[in-house]
Amino acid sequence: MDYLLNLATDPAAWIALATLTTMEVVLGVDNLIFISVLSNKLPEHQRSKARKIGIAAALVLRLALLATIALIVKLTAPLFALFGHAFSWRDLILISGGLFLVWKATTEIHNAVDTDSGPDHLNPAVVATSMGAVVGQILILDLVFSLDSIITAVGMTTHIPIMVVAVVIAVAAMLLAADPLAKFVHANPTILMLALSFLMLIGTTLIADGFGAHVPKGYIYAAMAFSALVEGLNMMARRARRLKAAEKSNAS
């Protein structure tokens, strides 16, 4: 109890909490984009439930990993060396998760672009995707993102209570943003393609990180933010053209 009271009255602990919470929220964007894209493939009445299950699983995984923090630290220890690089369990998990993410994003982009490849797997009216299949894929990526999140937390503070509070706040923010983000992505096909491109970029950086080529996340998120800004301007331009066309049509 004294330990918690000391933390609660320590300004450094509050600064660490604010910093770590911000980092966890930013890292949760990757997970949230993936959950939004996958859940939109389900019938409308199942989408919100799938998102809640996926986000709840992310919270459980993060808390479970925090409970085994000593084991998580050991995951970064070298396991074997290949091509002059020492691989750890963390590296192998990141590479596997990155490959899965690149494969998934590539498949979805192909289905959206190639209209002759069969049923449109992005159209819930024709897709034959079960809740279990979607939740299963979300859980796979939850594990990868949760591991990355907890290792980042360990590198920023040694206080478990601060990590727990930061994780809970970040996951709560994900829960609040999940439905609005998914609906926005579903209502705007160009945003969906942009989201899939983001997933491919994130998967590529996970693979690179697993092979020891660390790409600063600030660069990744800056590129994503710039792309989103450009797409936002495109959406405004399209809306302005539609309004102008409607005015001309009404005038005639």
Query: How many percent of the chain have pLDDT more than 70?
Result: 87
pLDDT of residue 155: 67
Cα(4)–Cα(195) distance, integer angstroms: 40
Cα(102)–Cα(70) distance, integer angstroms: 30
Residues 207 and 228 both lie in one domain: no
**For the chain, what is the mean pLDDT?**
80
At 133-166, the pLDDT tens digits run 888 888 888 888 877 777 777 766 667 788 888 8
At 200-221, the pLDDT tens digits run 888 888 888 888 888 887 788 7
Residues 138 and 222 both lie in one domain: no
pLDDT band at 121 (very low <50, low <70, confident <90, very high): very low
Amino acid at residue number 160: I
Residues 146 and 250 both lie in one domain: no
Q: What is the mean pLDDT of residues 77-100?
A: 83
What is the count of structural domains for the chain? Answer: 2
pLDDT band at 129 (very low <50, low <70, confident <90, very high): low
Residues 155 and 222 both lie in one domain: no
Amino acid at residue number 182: A
Q: At what angle do helices 44-67 and 160-187 cross, to 10 degrees?
A: 160
Q: Is the pLDDT of residue 190 over 70?
A: yes
Residues 172 and 242 both lie in one domain: no
pTM over 0.85: no
Cα(127)–Cα(118) distance, integer angstroms: 11
b/e for 206-230, b at 16 or more Cβ within 10 A? bbebbbeeeeebeebbeebeeeeee
Residues 112 and 23 both lie in one domain: yes
Residues 64 and 42 both lie in one domain: yes
Residues 53 and 167 both lie in one domain: yes
Q: Which two tokens stand for residue 2?
A: 């004294």
Q: Which two tokens stand for residue 143?
A: 């594990």
Residues 116 and 49 both lie in one domain: yes
> Domain range for residue 237?
216-252
Residues 77 and 138 both lie in one domain: yes
Residues 107 and 130 both lie in one domain: yes
Residues 201 and 110 both lie in one domain: yes
Cα separation values, 84 from 31, 87, 207, 211, Å: 31, 10, 17, 10
